[in-house]
C-alpha cells in the first residue's frame, strides 16, 4: 500500500468531502489537501469524478493521471478516500425527496481539528452567546434535557428531543420560536442536524457539516442544506448560513488544545454536553488517533 503522511487507518479508510459539486466544471482541475496529501480533482468530459495525488507539477487532465483514488459524488459534494473506503457513504435520504432544495451553502478553511468542529456543531449552549439574535438570545439560555444514544439501526451518534428558543431559526423565519432539533453523527467528521421547518410543520430542514481534514489541526468545513423553502433565493440561504458559520469560526479557532481530547476527564463537561461526551466516547471506541488526543489506557 502507498505510504501516507497520515497513518491512522480509522480516518484513512473513510470517504472524505473535497469540494462542492455545483462548483466543479468538466475538465477543470482543482487542487486541495486531504490528510496532508496534496490532491488534484476534476470531472472528466462525461462528468465522472476523478481524484489523484498531485505530483507538484502543473495539473492536467490528459488521461494519464497517476493512481486515481476512489471517488464519488454524493449529497452535493465530491468525496474521495486515501485508503480502502467503505462500500457506502452514510445514508442521507432527505436529499432524495423531490420537493427539497439541496444546496452547498459555503466552504471555509478553519484552523481547528475536525473533532472540535463537529463538537461545536452539536452544541446548543453557545447559541445565545455566539449567534445572538438568530439562533438564540438571552435570557433563553437553558439547554433542556435531551437524549443521546448510539442509533439502533446504524453505527452513529443520535441526539433527540433537543429544544431551543430561536429568534430567527432559518432564512425564511419571520418570528422567534422554540425549535426542535435532532442531531446525527453518521461519520467521524460529518454531522447532520434536523430542525423544525418554518414552512412545513410535519417535516424538518436538514443542515449538514461535512469536514475535510487537511491536517490534524486544520480543516475545510463544507456546509450543506436540504430544506423545505420555496421562497428564499439560493443566495439568501447561503448568506444566512455563512453568517452563522462566520460567527462560529473565531470560537473554533480559539479552542485549545486544537485537537479533541478523548480522555473522559481531560475537559469538564456539563449536562448540556451529553452529545459531545457520546461523540468523544464513540470516536474513542473506534480507536481514532488522528486530530485527537487519545485517552491513555488506565
The residues that touch another protein, with contacts defined as CB under 8 A, are 20, 23, 104, 106-111, 220, 235-236, 238-239, 242-247, 249-250, 253-254
| Phi, psi dihedral angles at 262 (to 5 degrees) | -100, -10
Pick 177 or 239: Cβ nearer another protein:
239
Pick 76 or 85: Cβ nearer another protein:
76
Residue whose C-alpha is closest to residue 121's, from 22, 195, 12:
195
Beta carbon of residue 109, minimum distance to another protein (angstroms, whole number): 5
Cα–Cα distance measured from residue 289 to residue 275, given in angstroms and rounded to the nearest whole number: 20
Cα–Cα distance measured from residue 140 to residue 168, given in angstroms and rounded to the nearest whole number: 13
Pick 35 or 244: Cβ nearer another protein:
244
Pick 104 or 157: Cβ nearer another protein:
104
Beta carbon of residue 220, minimum distance to another protein (angstroms, whole number): 8
CA torsion angle 180 212 6 67 (round to 10): 130
Half-sphere exposure of 159 (CA within 13 A, CB side): 28
Pick 186 or 216: Cβ nearer another protein:
216
Beta carbon of residue 134, minimum distance to another protein (angstroms, whole number): 10
Beta carbon of residue 247, minimum distance to another protein (angstroms, whole number): 5
First to last CA, the chain: 33
Pick 99 or 231: Cβ nearer another protein:
231
Beta carbon of residue 235, minimum distance to another protein (angstroms, whole number): 5
For the residues of 125-158, what is the DSSP string, one character each? TTHHHHSBTTTB-TT-------EEEE-SSSSSEE
Q: Quickly tell me which residue has 488544545 as its cell.
A: 257
Neighbours of 63 (CB within 10 A): 7
Handedness of CA 40, 121, 186, 279 (dihedral sign): positive
3-state secondary structure (DSSP) of residue 56: coil
Beta carbon of residue 182, minimum distance to another protein (angstroms, whole number): 26
Pick 114 or 182: Cβ nearer another protein:
114
Cα–Cα distance measured from residue 111 to residue 217, given in angstroms and rounded to the nearest whole number: 6
Beta carbon of residue 102, minimum distance to another protein (angstroms, whole number): 15
Amino acid at each position: 500500500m502507498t505510504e501516507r503522511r497520515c497513518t491512522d487507518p480509522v480516518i484513512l479508510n473513510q470517504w472524505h468531502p473535497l469540494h462542492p459539486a455545483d462548483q466543479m466544471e468538466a475538465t477543470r482541475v482543482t487542487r486541495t489537501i486531504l490528510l496532508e496529501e496534496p490532491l488534484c480533482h476534476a470531472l472528466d468530459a462525461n462528468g465522472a469524478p476523478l481524484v489523484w495525488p498531485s505530483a507538484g507539477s502543473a495539473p492536467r487532465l490528459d488521461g494519464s493521471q497517476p493512481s486515481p483514488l476512489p471517488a464519488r459524488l454524493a449529497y452535493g459534494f465530491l468525496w474521495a478516500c486515501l485508503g480502502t473506503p467503505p462500500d457506502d457513504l452514510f445514508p442521507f435520504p432527505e436529499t432524495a425527496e423531490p420537493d427539497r432544495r439541496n444546496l452547498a451553502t459555503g466552504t471555509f478553511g478553519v484552523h481547528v481539528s475536525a473533532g472540535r468542529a463537529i463538537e461545536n456543531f452539536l452544541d446548543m449552549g453557545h447559541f445565545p452567546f455566539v449567534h445572538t439574535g438568530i439562533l438564540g438570545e438571552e435570557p433563553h439560555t437553558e439547554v433542556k434535557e435531551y437524549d443521546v444514544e448510539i442509533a439502533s439501526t446504524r453505527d452513529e451518534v443520535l441526539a433527540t428531543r433537543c429544544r431551543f428558543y430561536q429568534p430567527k431559526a432559518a432564512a425564511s423565519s419571520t418570528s422567534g420560536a422554540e425549535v426542535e432539533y435532532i442531531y446525527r453523527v453518521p461519520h467521524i467528521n460529518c454531522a447532520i442536524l434536523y430542525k423544525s421547518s418554518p414552512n412545513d410543520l410535519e417535516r424538518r430542514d436538514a443542515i449538514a457539516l461535512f469536514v475535510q481534514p487537511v491536517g490534524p489541526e486544520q480543516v475545510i468545513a463544507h456546509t450543506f442544506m436540504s430544506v423545505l423553502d420555496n421562497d428564499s433565493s439560493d443566495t439568501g440561504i447561503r448568506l444566512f448560513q455563512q453568517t452563522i458559520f462566520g460567527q462560529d469560526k473565531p470560537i473554533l479557532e480559539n479552542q485549545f488544545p486544537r485537537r479533541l481530547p478523548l480522555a473522559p476527564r481531560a475537559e469538564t463537561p456539563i449536562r448540556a454536553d451529553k452529545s459531545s461526551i457520546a461523540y468523544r466516547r464513540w470516536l474513542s471506541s473506534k480507536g481514532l488517533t488522528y486530530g485527537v488526543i487519545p485517552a491513555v489506557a488506565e
